[in-house]
Every structure is written in C-alpha cells, then in structure tokens.
Amino acid sequence: MKKVILVLFLAFSFSQTSIAQVDFGIKGGINYNSNSVKGVSKDVFSGSESKTGYHAGVWSRIKIPVLDLYVRPELVYTTLKNEVFYSEAATLTTNSFQKIDVPVLIGKNILGIGNVFIGPSFQYIIDSNFDIDAIKNVDASGFSMGLQFGGGIEFGKFGVDVRWERAFSDIESSYIGNLGKVTYDTRINQIIIGLSIEL
C-alpha cells in the first residue's frame, strides 16, 4: 500500500510540474551600492561614498503549483560606482566595476498582486577601474556569491520590486601603485530597485 501511495504521489508531482506555468521577460533599474571599498592594505583610500548604478537583463519565472511557489532565475548586467579620496594624488576618484549577476530566487505570490522572494545570487566581475591615470592595472577576482531578498508588486505584465543584496564573500581587488601592491575589498552590498516587463 505504501508503494502505491508513493507511486501516486510521484505521478501527481510530475503531472503538476509538467503543467507548471513558465513566464519570461526583461528587466532594468537602479542599484545603490553601500561603501564597497574597504579593508585597504595601505593608507591610500578614505571616505568611500556610493553612487547610483544601473542593471538590465532577462528573467524567467517557473510556477510550481504543487508547492504554491515559483523559481525565478535571472541573467543581469550590473554596473556600480563608488567615489573615494585617493591620498597619493590628493584627489577624489571614482571606482567603477561591471559584473554579471545570476540570482536564483524562490518566491511566493501574495493576494495575486504581491510577491516575496529570497535566494542566492552568483556574480562574476567583468571589469573594475578608477577614473585617474595614477591607478592602473586594477585586478578584481572573478566569482563571488551573495544573498538577495525582497518583495514587489505586479500590475498586469509590469512589475516593480525592491531587493537587498548581502555579499557572502569579499572581492579581493588590487593594483600596483607608488607604494607597491595595494589590496582592498570591494564586497558588494546593495539596494536594488527594478522594473520588469513580461513578454
């Protein structure tokens, strides 16, 4: 009897998964990164101040009826900036970096209009640099991982959400300057405001 119940349960689960609704679309918005230049090995940076960045990408949402949840993987290009005081040149400089984000979120729809979600975000740093010639050959480690959670509302095919992203690991960055090799942490903790459109 137990085997029959197990087989029926598995059959029901697979049938529900097979009819799971899949949506997809595009998204974009703004990002605010909090104080990501820190842990500097030598006294060359101070007064890190965040600037607004942006993101754009694609998303998919796979509804799982048997669990009343959905999985939302995304592929997103993100650019972020921070302004710091560079003591060797006695000037302000902007540190900018670009990355590819792949959040994989587990979410739940609330009352047909709201959503809450949480999940890991896998990140790959494409490029990092400063806007002055005195800092060259910036090297930022490629992969890192964080956690995203937040909520949003939907109006038909349009959606707006707010997320907070917390880094699990640092991003070990470095450059060669007058004082030799300078290392620092560009760990990314950010608030993300996004607009999505279902296609």
Question: H or E element: which one contains 8?
Answer: helix 2-18
Which structural domain range is residue 76 located in?
A: 21-198
Over the stretch 168-190, which tens digit does the pLDDT of each residue have?
877 778 877 777 788 877 777 88
Q: Name the DSSP class of 70.
A: E
Paired tokens of 101: 């984000």
pLDDT tens-digit series, residues 73-119: 999 999 988 888 888 888 888 888 899 999 999 999 998 899 999 99
In a domain, 60, yes or no: yes
- 147 domain-assigned: yes
Quick check: is 5 in a domain? no
Q: Tell me if 40 is assigned to some domain.
A: yes
10-45: pLDDT as tens digits:
444 444 445 568 999 999 999 987 656 666 656 777
Residue 50, domain member (yes or no): yes
Number of domains in the chain: 1
pLDDT over 90 at 163, yes or no: yes
Is residue 140, in this structure, part of any structural domain at all? yes
Q: What tokens appear for 91 in the block?
A: 């000037």
Sheet (strand 136-140) strand order: 136-140, 172-177, 180-185
Q: Which residues contact 106 (CB under 8 A, 6 or more apart)?
A: 69, 70, 71, 72, 117, 118, 119
pTM above 0.75, yes or no: yes
Helix (H) or strand (E) holding 42: none
